A = this chain, B = another copy of it.
Amino acid sequence: MVQVAPLRRTGRPLGATVPVIEIERKFLVAERPSDLEGWPSSAIEQGYLTVDQEGPEVRVRRRGGQAYLTVKSGGGRVRVEEEIEIDGDRFERLWPLTEGRRIEKTRYEIDAGDGVVIELDVYTGALDGLVTAEVEFDSEEAADAFEPPSWLGDDVTEDLRYKNQRLAREGPP
C-alpha cells in the first residue's frame, strides 16, 4: 500500500534525505457511479517506448493538452525519474512507437468528501472493459481508515497485474 518514490513527479531530484512517500490504494470498480459523467474528466494516453522490462522505462504520456516523455529507472542502486515536457506534435510522432504497449483511458475525478478524491479510470483500446479507481492519501492512517463507497470493488493495491506497465504489455488480467 505504501510506495516509496525517491523523486518528485516533476522530475526534480530531492535531497537524498527527504524521500517522497506516495500512499495510495487501488480498487476495481463494482459499479460505475450513476453521476459519473458529471465529474471532471480527461483522456489519458500512455505508451511505453521500451520493449523489455529490464533497464530504464521510457514512456510517453498525454493528458488534456499536456504531453511528457518520462524516463524512470526500475530500481537498484541508481534511482531516477525524469519527466520531460514535449509538445503535442512530438507526442503524435512518438506514439506509433508504443504500439502494443499502451494504456488509454478516461480519468474521472470524483470528490468523495473529507478531502478525498477518487480517480476513476475507464480504459479504452486494448483494455476496453476494465475500470479501476485510485485514491491517494496523506498518511497511512488515512489510507487504513478509508471506507470505500459501495460502488468500489476489490482492493487490488498489491496485485501486480494491475500495475500500469503490466496492463500496457499484457492486457487485462
Contacts and interface: CB of A to CB of B under 8 A. Distances in A.
Nearest to A11: B90
Copies in the complex: 2
Contacts of A49: 50, 55-56, 58, 71
B94 A80 contact: yes
Q: What is the size category of the interface that chain A forms with chain B? A: 20 to 34
A93 B13 CA distance: 9
Given A50-B58, A51-B52, A52-B54, A93 B86 contact: no
Q: Output the residue of A69, A84, A93, A96 with the most chain B CB within 10 A.
A: A93
A97 B58 CA distance: 11
Contacts of A80: 93-94, 96-97
Contacts of A58: 49-50, 58, 71
A45 interface: no
Interface of A: 11, 13, 49-52, 54-56, 58, 69, 71, 73, 78, 80, 82, 84, 86, 90, 93-94, 96-97, 99
Closest 6 CB pairs of A and B: A51-B55, A78-B96, A56-B97, A51-B54, A58-B58, A52-B52
